[in-house]
A and B are shown apart, each in its own frame.
Chain A
Amino acid sequence: MNARLARLALALYPLAYRRRYGEEMAALVEDQGTSPRAVADFARGAFRAHLRPEPAVAEALPRGDRIRLGVSAVLLCWLLFGAAMLAFAKTTEEPAFTAAASAHAVLGGAHLALQLLFVLAWVAFLLGAAPLVVLALAQAHRRPGVRRAALAAVGCVAVLIVATAAVVLVANRQPAPDHGSGAALLAGWTCIGLACASGCALAARRGLFAATMPAPALRLAAACATVVAAAMAGIALATLAYLVALVTSATALASTPNGPFGNPDVRVSLLLVLAVMVAAAVPAALAARRAWRGAIAR
């Protein structure tokens, strides 16, 4: 049990550390034996290595791999961010919010900025990802690693499609599900969606590492990942402005109970959305910085 936990803790280390010290660490664990204390020490070391990586170790990673790491981390964050955006759209879908946005300039401006940045992020995402996907798929027939990653991604998408179809079927059934069942259905679908999105992102990361990518495609992906990360930060700021404007200008609407998970209050719902956005935008910014450094490194 402890040996398994130690292997898991070793897998928590950044890739650069695993490549440089992984074998030695595994040998040390074999010699020393594993104990809960050693496993905790391992996990603490992994956390520190992520938080403050030793530059000499991190920079020993090839340039292409640094870009691959940064880009795949931005993708994972973007998918989590997408879930928050979906929750925002569900929270503010009532016509009353559109009317409030027309009546209050700041509210309307924040909403428009948020939508424009979302479109910009999607365009950058597609522009950066498309060449990588095409190049990876072209190698799928001769590289089993790429093929497995592509199949895993397709499997995740298929699961999401089946789950969505099931939710739509249940939601349209007569009599319609009550409020509690509807919220539970939405929560379940969100969990499946997040699991599928994470599976897709991990499969994309595996495929990215298994395929050979030309430097210009990786540099373009790094630049697009930077745009996506910047757009995420902008959207989070616009959401904050929207929330503040809603609370100050449309107090009655802000206290309406119409959150996506049956929250008692729109403010609480939007605060949760904002927290998820920040939790995704901060690591995305750090990852984009790493990808960008990899792209400009000589």
Chain B
Amino acid sequence: MYRRAYYYAMRYISERSTDPGLLVLASLAEGPKHGYAITQDVEEVAGVKLGPGTLYGALSRLEGRDLIEALPSEDRRRPYKITAAGSAALAEQLAMLERVVDTGMKRLRAAGATA
């Protein structure tokens, strides 16, 4: 019972603390994808299942900021591709995250050494 509650709490925190826009951009960095392919890729890479409302909220925001663009529709599944501005924004975000990870790991190691 306690383990299950802990699992759901951790899953909730991890999903809330992950920016869907960043996950979508990271997914599209590999190449154009439609909605379902993006959700599959994000689930595989980050372990986060994007719901339809969250995904299309993120897609509309990214499209509004010209970070992604819609390609001509194959059927009802329209593919999206990352733009040059989107690639730059993704690189900047990832560099910032890398700095956070580096600093956090260094501080953890230092704290471990003194403990």
User: Which residues in A have some Cβ–Cβ distance to B below 8 Å?
Assistant: 6, 9, 17, 20-21, 23-29, 31-32, 37-38, 40-46, 48-49, 54-57
**A22 shortest CB reach to chain B, Å:** 9
A84, B24: Cα distance in complex, Å: 47
Name the prevailing secondary structure of the A interface residues.
helix
Residue among A28, A55, A56 making CB contact with B52, cutoff 8 Å: A28
Q: B64 touching A32 by the CB < 8 A rule?
A: no
Residues of B within 8 A of A37 (CB): 51
Number of B interface residues at 8 Å Cβ cutoff, please give it: 20
Q: B51 touching A38 by the CB < 8 A rule?
A: yes
Chain B residue at smallest Cβ distance from A38: B51
Chain B residue at smallest Cβ distance from A47: B53
**A92 shortest CB reach to chain B, Å:** 45
Q: B60 touching A17 by the CB < 8 A rule?
A: yes
Residues of A within 8 A of B35 (CB): 24-25, 27-28, 31
Q: A21 touching B54 by the CB < 8 A rule?
A: no
B39 CB-CB contact with A under 8 Å: yes
Q: B77 touching A27 by the CB < 8 A rule?
A: yes
A24-B77, A45-B56 known; A56 vs B63 contact (CB < 8 Å) = yes
**A13 shortest CB reach to chain B, Å:** 9
Name the prevailing secondary structure of the B interface residues.
helix
Q: A32 touching B59 by the CB < 8 A rule?
A: no
A222, B60: Cα distance in complex, Å: 28
A25, B76: Cα distance in complex, Å: 9
Residues of A within 8 A of B34 (CB): 24
Q: A45 touching B36 by the CB < 8 A rule?
A: no
Q: A28 touching B36 by the CB < 8 A rule?
A: yes
B57 CB-CB contact with A under 8 Å: yes
Residues of B within 8 A of A29 (CB): 52
Residues of A within 8 A of B51 (CB): 37-38, 40-42, 44-45
A37, B34: Cα distance in complex, Å: 21
B78 CB-CB contact with A under 8 Å: yes
**A86 shortest CB reach to chain B, Å:** 38
What 3 A-B pairs come out closest when comparing CB atoms? A45-B53, A41-B51, A56-B64
Q: B56 touching A46 by the CB < 8 A rule?
A: no
A37, B11: Cα distance in complex, Å: 14
Q: B56 touching A26 by the CB < 8 A rule?
A: no
What are 30 sample pairs from A and B whose C-beta atoms fall under 8 A apart? A9-B53, A17-B60, A21-B60, A23-B76, A23-B78, A24-B78, A25-B56, A28-B36, A28-B56, A28-B77, A29-B52, A32-B36, A32-B52, A38-B51, A40-B51, A41-B51, A41-B52, A41-B54, A42-B51, A42-B52, A42-B53, A44-B53, A45-B53, A46-B53, A48-B57, A49-B60, A54-B61, A54-B64, A56-B64, A57-B64
